[in-house]
């Protein structure tokens, strides 16, 4: 049986790396296309996935850049063929109030969290529609469901991403392509290491990664349109 091709953006650390490792461990022989800007970290994740039994290739790319995404699509298709599972995980977080948010900061958050998902999905969706099969995941956030003070640009980007996922789901219901938008609360990543917040207040990235795998494993007769994950002890 031919193993699925799973493309993960932002795969060099945090939740993206955890998703890669989880798919590698649970679907032996899975073919992973790992995408991020940090080629060194990406290579380390790829080695771990190969050790777990996957085929893994790395693709260094700024997924907010249109020409870079076009080149990515060409390279991934040449190496693996069509993508079966697309996980739009690339993103970034920055704190700033509305009046303190610069135009450059706002544009950067929109590009990293929203534009990137649009560009990557636009590049790989046509092949899924042609085959009438595929899974598209969007990594939103609870900040894409409710407003948070001092997160103007981030909330705007994640609300936009949530809307993008809803539109794509509405347009692809009869095509065999499933669309899922994931909304995690506080999840462990390197950015939390100096925060002083106790680890038990933050979800492990592996738990969020497991949710992606479990949603993918449903029969093709079912789809999880949205999933919300929160720390058991409450949001930060």
Among 90-94, 119-123, 176-180, 195-199, the minimum mean pLDDT is found in 195-199
Instruction: Say which CATH number the domain at 79 has.
Output: 3.40.50.720
pLDDT exceeds cutoff 80 at 182: yes
Whether 90 maps to a domain, the answer reads yes
Whether 236 maps to a domain, the answer reads no
Q: Which of the four pLDDT bands, split at 50, 70 and 90, describes residue 191?
A: low
pTM: 0.95
Q: Are 42 and 70 in contact (CB under 8 A)?
A: no
Neighbours of 107 (CB within 10 A): 13
- Number of separate domains in the chain: 1
Q: Is 1 exposed, middle or buried (0-12, 13-18, 19+ CB in 10 A)?
A: exposed
Whether 182 maps to a domain, the answer reads yes
Whether 235 maps to a domain, the answer reads no
Whether 208 maps to a domain, the answer reads yes
| Each residue's pLDDT tens digit, 83-104 | 999 999 999 988 899 999 999 9
Domain that holds residue 43: 5-229
Instruction: Show the DSSP H helices in 81-200 as ranges.
Output: 103-110, 116-131, 152-172
């Amino acid at each position: 049986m031919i193993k699925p091709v799973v493309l993960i953006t932002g795969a060099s650390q945090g939740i993206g790396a955890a998703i890669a490792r989880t798919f590698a461990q649970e679907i032996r022989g899975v073919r992973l296309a790992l995408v991020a800007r940090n080629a060194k970290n990406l290579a380390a994740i790829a080695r771990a996935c190969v050790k777990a039994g996957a085929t893994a290739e790395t693709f260094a790319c700024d997924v907010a850049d249109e020409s870079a995404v076009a080149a990515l699509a060409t390279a991934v298709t040449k190496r693996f063929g069509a993508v079966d599972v697309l996980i739009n995980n690339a993103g970034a977080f920055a704190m700033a109030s509305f009046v303190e948010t610069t135009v450059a900061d706002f544009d950067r958050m929109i590009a990293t969290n929203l534009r990137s998902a649009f560009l990557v999905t636009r590049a790989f969706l046509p092949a899924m529609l042609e085959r009438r099969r595929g899974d598209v995941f969007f990594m939103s956030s609870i900040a894409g469901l409710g407003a948070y003070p001092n997160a103007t640009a981030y909330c705007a980007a994640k609300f936009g991403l949530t809307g993008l996922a809803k539109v794509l789901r509405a347009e692809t219901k009869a095509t065999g392509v499933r669309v899922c938008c994931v909304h995690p609360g506080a999840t462990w990543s390197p950015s939390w290491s100096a925060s002083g917040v106790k680890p038990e207040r933050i979800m492990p990235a592996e738990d969020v990664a497991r949710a992606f795998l479990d949603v993918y494993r449903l029969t093709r007769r079912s789809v999880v349109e949205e999933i919300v994950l929160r720390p058991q002890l409450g949001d930060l």
